[in-house]
Amino acid sequence: MNTDTTLFYLFSSLALASAVMVIGLSNAVHSVLFLIIVFCNVAGLLLLLGAEFLSFMLLIVYVGAIAVLFLFVVMMLNVKTNPTNASSLSVLPIGFLICLILVAQISSVIDMNLVFFDSIESNPKWISWAAETNGISNIEVVGSVLYTSFSLLFLVCGLILLVSMIGAIVLTMHQRTNVKKQRIETQLSRNPGGVIKFITLRK
């Protein structure tokens, strides 16, 4: 067993174990931390497959932005755990149904007639997909696909992000009349003589 296969099994097992912990833990902060571990392991798998651009983008976008944002939101909301835990028998039919749907989707995607093992060797075949692209880097492949076949969807996504950014700016610039705010010009133009007032108290 070579180093690539060992790392593949290591990252896969850690990703599966962390994914189980994400849905199994009752503490939301711990679930988000294990979700970050899942993203890191998946990035390691993508790096082993030769997709280094997607691997680093997964680390930058999901781990560096989205997962940290989830963690901050969960910590600020201070979500309390429900003391009344549901029994495992009540959620068992729902879990079994979800497992059946997942197995049906995987079986519909994967061709059962594929030959995963060589007829001569007992070890599985290792195909370097990065070498099959005739020396083209991952950035060039993603750019050529994104700006040719999916150029319309790329422009629509950019338009949606622009509209959402403008909407967030408009919502934050909305002035309410019943909110007291600090006015610097009023404070600077006040009369110093009327700041201190002496009051004579009766004895």
- Position 156 scores a pLDDT of 93
- Position 42 scores a pLDDT of 92
- Position 155 scores a pLDDT of 92
Among 55, 45, 60, residue whose Cα is nearest residue 142? 55
Residue 124 forms beta bridges with which residues? 117
- Position 66 scores a pLDDT of 84
Answer whether 8's CB lies under 8 Å from 45's CB: yes
Rounded-to-integer distance, Cα 45 and Cα 66, Å: 20
Answer whether 125's CB lies under 8 Å from 118's CB: yes
Among 160, 128, 146, 150, residue whose Cα is nearest residue 51? 128
- Position 116 scores a pLDDT of 46
Tokens coding 178: 């019943």
Residue 185's identity, in one-letter code, is E
Residue 51 phi/psi, 5-degree rounding, is -95, 70
Cα dihedral sign, 182-188-189-195: positive
Tokens coding 11: 């990252």
Answer whether 47's CB lies under 8 Å from 34's CB: no
The 10 Å Cβ neighbour count of residue 60 is 11
| pLDDT tens, the chain, 203 aa long | 688 888 888 999 999 999 989 888 888 888 888 999 999 999 999 888 888 888 888 888 888 888 888 888 887 776 665 555 556 677 788 888 988 998 888 888 775 555 544 444 555 566 665 566 566 777 787 888 888 888 899 899 999 999 988 988 887 776 666 767 777 887 777 777 767 777 777 76
